[in-house]
Amino acid sequence: MKLGVQFDEQGNFVGDFLEGMQLPEEHTLYRGEIIEGLYVPKLLRGEVVEVLSSEEIEEIRNQPQSETSEQKIARLEAENIALQAADLDNKEAIAVLYEMLVGGETNE
């Protein structure tokens, strides 16, 4: 069970503080609510604040999202189907050329 969050001696966020954990002597346990969406929370004079500037937060928000596992699987499956189709086209073209060569040689 979550009892709060802990901050180190400089006020840097360390992580959740769960039941059964030992709080290091130099850490502070904060039991108040932390606003959702903080990127780099810091404990300053008993209050949790955001360290990043609005420009830094906007830059993080505008970064391209990485591909999820499901998206990657779907993309790779589509690429695989396309490669198989291209391979089949190549085999058919080779078969036609072979027939032309063999057929050309046996005609007398």
Cα dihedral 48→51→53→58 (10° resolution): -80
pTM tops 0.85, yes or no: no
- 104 — pLDDT class (breaks 50, 70, 90): low
Residue type, 50: E
Rounded CA separation 100/96 (Å): 6
22-76 pLDDT tens trace: 999 999 999 988 877 788 899 999 899 998 988 998 888 888 888 899 999 999 9
Under the banding of pLDDT at 50, 70 and 90, the label for residue 105 is: low
